[in-house]
Amino acid sequence: MQFVKMHGTGNDFVVVDAREQSADWEALARAVCDRHFGVGADGLVLALPTANADLRMRMFNPDGSEAEMCGNGIRCLAKFAVERGIVQPRDRALTVETLAGLLRCEVSGVNGTVQRVRASMGRPRLDPADIPVLAESSGPVLHLPIQIDGGEFDVTCVSMGNPHAVHFTDQPVGEIELELVGPRVEHHPAFPRRVNFEVANVLGRDRLRMRVWERGAGITLACGTGACATAVAARLRGLVGDAVEIELPGGVVRIEWDGQGEVYLSGPAEDVFEGRWLA
């Protein structure tokens, strides 16, 4: 099986043209994502055919679970598909079918290469049942106290097709023991389908700093849907404006949301190496 190792702001993936292939994708994801015995990645991304869009995307976490969406993954997939001739973009854009709906990706670059992708991430879902989260509020859920061993976290809950709980804090996010509190929030009973957990500092009206514990993956250098959810949560709470740059351990992404329509995620996508999986 041929693959390309790619990353978007340090969030890395094994990307496969699976249009004419079949496999036990859950088992394969567990194997190839292993950083000691496999390729090493935060997820396995598949390019698949569809009658509803230019391309269909499936994304599997390192534990084998399938994610509804992945913002950094869809940027890598767009670059992969365009540069390898799988998709011919129209007006420098392509549509991708995901479990979170049909999403549009605008590509930019030079000499036939894609260097940056601006992805439509859909509208944020704020109703507790759509996230899902067990909360008395009818939505949006802006201040939900989550008690775990290690303290209490005030979170704002957002779905970007997958569930997120965002905690804003004055404590530098680098000092938070995310490896300890992350899995406890992920598996908290308030979240029936588990949750991605973000911790964020507000640096200004147009800039945030964020770290993330991803459901099914653990600590990663970046999370596209997490960055979107964090920007949405910050705007809902009056902390930022319509456009914000978010500093992640793996780099910086730009999020745009006018408070009503779709969220847009812009950032780089890069190839790392190509290979062949022999197992």
For 122-175, the pLDDT digits (tens) are 999 999 999 999 998 888 999 999 999 878 999 999 999 999 999 999 999 999
Predicted confidence (pLDDT) at residue 86 exceeds the cutoff of 90 = yes
Q: What are phi and psi of 242, to 5 degrees?
A: -75, -20
How many domains does the chain contain in total? 2
Return the pLDDT at 229.
Answer: 98
Q: What percent of the chain has pLDDT over 90?
A: 96
User: Is 152 in a helix, a strand, or coil?
Assistant: strand
Confidence of residue 112 (pLDDT cuts 50, 70, 90): confident
Same domain, 209 and 118: no
Shortest CA distance to 162 belongs to which of 77, 99, 74?
A: 99
Same domain, 152 and 199: yes
Q: What is the mean pLDDT of the chain?
A: 96
Across 27-34, average pLDDT: 98
Higher pLDDT, 112 or 65: 65
Rounded to the nearest angstrom, the gap between the alpha carbon of residue 137 and the centroid of all alpha carbons in its chain is 26
223 is catalytic: yes
Residue 59 to residue 13: CA distance in whole angstroms: 9
Return the pLDDT at 175.
Answer: 97
Predicted confidence (pLDDT) at residue 278 exceeds the cutoff of 80 = yes
Same domain, 91 and 20: yes
Helix (H) or strand (E) holding 13: strand 11-17
Q: From the candidates 33, 70, 157, 228, which is the catalytic residue?
A: 70
Same domain, 190 and 84: no
Same domain, 145 and 190: yes
Residue range(s) defining the domain that contains residue 114 = 2-122+267-276
Q: What are phi and psi of 75, to 5 degrees?
A: -65, -45
Same domain, 251 and 135: yes
CA distances from 201 to 17, 100, 152, 183, 206 (A): 38, 28, 17, 20, 12
Q: From the candidates 33, 157, 223, 228, which is the catalytic residue?
A: 223
Residue 238: partners with Cβ closer than 8 Å, 6 or more residues away? none
Predicted confidence (pLDDT) at residue 226 exceeds the cutoff of 80 = yes
Same domain, 147 and 33: no
Same domain, 150 and 91: no
Predicted confidence (pLDDT) at residue 252 exceeds the cutoff of 90 = yes
Return the pLDDT at 87.
Answer: 96
Same domain, 171 and 60: no
CATH number of the domain within which 163 lies:
3.10.310.10
Same domain, 162 and 115: no
Same domain, 58 and 160: no
Same domain, 139 and 245: yes
105 is catalytic: no
